[in-house]
Structure 1
Amino acid sequence: MPAARKIAFLASDTALSQDAKQALEARYGSYAPEDADVIVALGGDGFMLQTMHATQALGLSVYGMNRGTVGFLMNAYAEDDLTGRLERAEAAVVNPLHMRATTTEGKVVEALAINEVSLLRAGPQAAKLRILVDGRLRMEELVCDGALLCTPAGSTAYNYSAHGPILPIGADVLALTAVAAFRPRRWRGALLPKSAVVRFDVIDPDKRPVMADADSRSVANVVSVEIRSEPDIAHRILFDPGHGLDERLLREQFT
């Protein structure tokens, strides 16, 4: 990207992140996000997602530096040559998922998810889900602890922990993954085109309550959840050369 003249530093609440923010602002200046050319997020992956959601309307690229734990979406932290790193950075473009969840009370909640939309049982009994893709019934009944639909960027997060596939960042596909499927036994999910509209209907929601979650925005007692990719929204994540999402996704599969 072109050399960034105005950098907005945003940091999580941890002391490590706040100390880094103070040191970087003293060295490179400080601008409000709405006046900046680029945003530098200091924290972990959770804070990176939070930053991307919060600054979506600004259309700015976000460069993360890891002050958290895993840091899959982040670059290594260093105070030196930040403007040079931003100038050389490579961009990965990610389209979020749009969730439309309807609750047992008839309330409709809409939210965006950069990583995944997940449905999880909210009681002692397994969830029972019906799955439709593009309006066509694909599974009459999935008995499970939950299920999720993820983007390529989110495929190494919760999806990977649930034994879902890792997707190349440029792939026009979404991964639908079951969480502890009881019936059909060992069913792991499906790969769907990015254009697919997926709907989960909750069977017997009073006896088997289910919650939905879009990048940590939770909705309790859902009866149906419709999910689709949102191509009109594009998040630009910046990475140091040779350490972009494509390389990280490949490396993860050989670890």
Structure 2
Amino acid sequence: MPRIAFLASPARLAQESRVRLAARYGDCPTAQADFVVSLGGDGFMLETLHHLISHPRPVYGMNCGSVGFLMNAYAEDDLPARLARAQAAILYPLRMHAVTMTGATEEALAFNEVSLLRQLRQAAKIRISIDGRERLAELICDGVLISTPAGSTAYNLSAHGPIVPLSANLLPLTPISAFRPRRWRGALLPGAAEVVFEVLEAEKRPVAAVADFTEVRNVVSVAVSEYRTVATQVLFDPDQALSERIIAEQFTV
């Protein structure tokens, strides 16, 4: 019997499911587990991945939330066999290095995306450089984001960015409600690219940077790159692998 740690969102359904599963299969601390089972929705799966950064474990999600794109179907029977058959998707986060108007710095990791968002009524003005070369002198917008392939189906897709297969080694860079240049739809960047966002007129047009759950307000510059020091395994049932879900999402109407 594998050693399993069960983590559940605060939602009643998830908490009740955790009690039943722990009684049936046992429960152990995450640091001693062979597998971690995350009970909730996609948001709680992200919380689980962040929780496990310092002691990585394969994570198998079961949907007790709403969308559940990163989750498997909920079922209480034959869990050890499901874990043994599951296929792993390797996810690498983005690392954000943000500098604020006071000169303070903050770093955070993001498994979905790093986004820059205007804080007030006025549009943001942002300069974009990639690998030390200026690519866009001034983007006037509500914001801009860069996502991981796994995160390309989340906020990036809602902002009309492209869906990227896991194996593509690409990072979508997508504007949010761009005003100028109006026809710029974003870019697909190599996975090794380092992107620097510089906020123009920062005092007049303040901008916040968000890496998954970490928000830094009043930023003046934000550097983002893929962080391959951290690798997380997310497990999926064989007929519902993450790579297949990402491809299928592109044909959803």
Identify whether the pair has TM-score above 0.5, normalized to the shorter chain.
yes
What secondary structure does 1:52 align onto?
helix
Q: Which residue of 1 aligns with 2:83?
A: 86
Q: Which residue of 1 aligns with 2:206?
A: 209
| Cα root mean square deviation, aligned | 0.7
Q: Which residue of 1 aligns with 2:106?
A: 109
Gaps of 5+ in 2: none
User: 2:69 matched to 1:69?
Assistant: no
TM-score by length of 1: 0.98
Instruction: State the AA in 2 paired with 1:13.
Output: P
User: 2:163 matched to 1:166?
Assistant: yes
Alignment equivalent of 2:94, drawn from 67, 92, 97:
97
Identity between Structure 1 and Structure 2 (%) = 58
What secondary structure does 2:98 align onto?
strand
Matches of 1:19 and 1:171, distance apart in 2: 39
Alpha-carbon distance, 1:110 to partner: 0.1
Alpha-carbon distance, 1:16 to partner: 0.5
Q: Which residue of 1 aligns with 2:243?
A: 246
User: 2:65 matched to 1:44?
Assistant: no
Instruction: State the AA in 1 paired with 2:101.
Output: T
Which string of whole-angstrom CA distances, capped at 9 and with x for unpartnered residues, describes residues 113-136 of structure 1?
001000000010000000000010
User: 2:59 matched to 1:59?
Assistant: no
Matches of 2:53 and 2:37, distance apart in 1: 14
Instruction: State the AA in 1 paired with 2:205.
Output: R
Q: Which residue of 1 aligns with 2:188?
A: 191
Matches of 2:183 and 2:206, distance apart in 1: 22
Instruction: State the AA in 2 paired with 1:133.
Output: I
Matches of 1:138 and 1:187, distance apart in 2: 12
User: 2:128 matched to 1:140?
Assistant: no
Alpha-carbon distance, 1:170 to partner: 1.3
Which string of whole-angstrom CA distances, capped at 9 and with x for unpartnered residues, describes residues 23-70 of structure 1?
100110010101111100000101101101111121211000000110
Instruction: State the AA in 1 paired with 2:243.
Output: D
Q: Which residue of 1 aligns with 2:7?
A: 10
Matches of 2:210 and 2:15, distance apart in 1: 28
Alignment equivalent of 1:127, drawn from 105, 108, 124:
124
Gaps of 5+ in 1: none
Matches of 1:222 and 1:59, distance apart in 2: 31
Q: Which residue of 2 aligns with 1:155?
A: 152
Alpha-carbon distance, 1:186 to partner: 2.9
Matches of 2:210 and 2:56, distance apart in 1: 24
What secondary structure does 2:245 align onto?
helix
Alpha-carbon distance, 1:216 to partner: 1.9
Matches of 1:79 and 1:37, distance apart in 2: 18
Runs of 4+ in 1 over 4 A off after TM superposition: none
Please list, as runs of the form range in 1=range in 2, the aligned pairs for 1:15-26 lying within 5 A after superposition: 15-26=12-23
Which string of whole-angstrom CA distances, capped at 9 and with x for unpartnered residues, describes residues 86-113 of structure 1?
0000000011000000001111000000
Matches of 1:130 and 1:45, distance apart in 2: 32
What secondary structure does 1:242 align onto?
helix
Matches of 1:59 and 1:207, distance apart in 2: 42
Matches of 1:57 and 1:108, distance apart in 2: 21
Instruction: State the AA in 2 paired with 1:127.
Output: A
User: 2:43 matched to 1:31?
Assistant: no
